[in-house]
Amino acid sequence: MLRIHPFVMGHLIGAVMTGAIAGAFINPQASFIAAVSLAAGAAISSVVCQWRPGVEAPAWKLWSVAVFANPLMIAALVFMAVDWECVVGARRGWDCLGAAMAIAAAGLCLLPPVGGLLWRWWKRRVAPAA
């Protein structure tokens, strides 16, 4: 039987739930796209976390690697850097819609690793002592 680490499982489930809930504010199609996008980013991020620092690392290391190894977060940060005038408020209008979406995407990328850490904590708490 395939054994998935609790952090990875919680990270993936948290990503799907976060994307589905955030996209539901727009329409069902956006809910599906956001859930799949965040889940794909979380899957890639989980692979990186298993490699470095390892899924048994301290929570602060695991969270930071999980957030900044997510390709969606990297793309959002690059987009915000390119449209920095919109981010700091020097330029306004419809041209800043992409930067606003990048800020929202970056914010959504912060939540799924917390789900992974919570699931890892819960599984450790209820596991029998070896």
Whether residue 40 is contained in a domain is answered as yes
Mean pLDDT computed over 25-39: 97
pLDDT for residue 107? 97
The model scores a pTM over 0.75? yes
Whether residue 105 is contained in a domain is answered as yes
Distance CA 85, CA 81 (A): 9
pLDDT for residue 99? 96
Query: Is residue 123 predicted with pLDDT exceeding 90?
Result: yes
Whether residue 100 is contained in a domain is answered as yes
Three-state secondary-structure class, residue 57: coil
Mean pLDDT computed over 20-38: 96
Distance CA 95, CA 76 (A): 16
Query: Is residue 128 predicted with pLDDT exceeding 80?
Result: no
Query: Is residue 77 predicted with pLDDT exceeding 90?
Result: yes
pLDDT band at 130 (very low <50, low <70, confident <90, very high): low
Total domains in the chain come to 1
pLDDT for residue 22? 96
Whether residue 129 is contained in a domain is answered as no
Whether residue 94 is contained in a domain is answered as yes
pLDDT digits (tens, 9 = 90+) for 45-75: 999 999 999 999 999 999 999 999 999 999 9
pLDDT for residue 5? 95
Report yes or no: 8 and 46 within 8 Å, Cβ to Cβ: yes
Whether residue 130 is contained in a domain is answered as no
State which residues form the domain around 105: 6-121
Whether residue 77 is contained in a domain is answered as yes
Distance CA 91, CA 118 (A): 39
Query: Is residue 118 predicted with pLDDT exceeding 90?
Result: yes
Who's near 85: CB < 8 A, 6+ residues apart?
A: 91
pLDDT for residue 127? 75
Whether residue 1 is contained in a domain is answered as no
Mean pLDDT computed over 10-38: 97
